[in-house]
Amino acid sequence: MTDPADEPADPAVRLAEERATVVHRLAALRGDFSGMVEASRDSNADDEHDPEGHTIAFERSQLDTLVRQAEERLAEVDAALARLADGSYGTCVRCGRPVPPERLAARPAAATCVACAASGPRR
């Protein structure tokens, strides 16, 4: 586990690093997905009745979910970078109160204060 003191304090640096990591992961996942589709394109395998384990469709679904999660994470990081650029970074997007520095240290892309995060998604 990394020590938060070892991480850059500048949110712009932390967010840029996070963005680079997510973009790299997303590219790898998309490559895996394309590879899986290509590998099974000309196959006549009956994966629904394969006794060896998970079906290709199940594995595709799992990979698709991971891609969507990475895309959502990238959107969160991009939104945090936009808040940083417009000066609203560190202010809760729901209630307008400050987001505690400890929360931003743990989750640099956090958009809400602890109280709003605990109350769940906006309805």
Average pLDDT rounded to a whole number, residues 100-111: 95
Above pLDDT 90, what percent of the chain?
62
pLDDT over 80 (residue 44): no
Is the pTM of the predicted complex or chain greater than 0.85? no
Average pLDDT, the chain: 84
Query: pLDDT tens, 63-90?
Result: 999 999 999 999 999 999 999 999 999 9
Q: CA-to-CA distance for 75 and 80, rounded, in angstroms?
A: 9
Would you say 56 and 47 are in contact if contact means Cβ atoms under 8 Å apart? Answer: yes
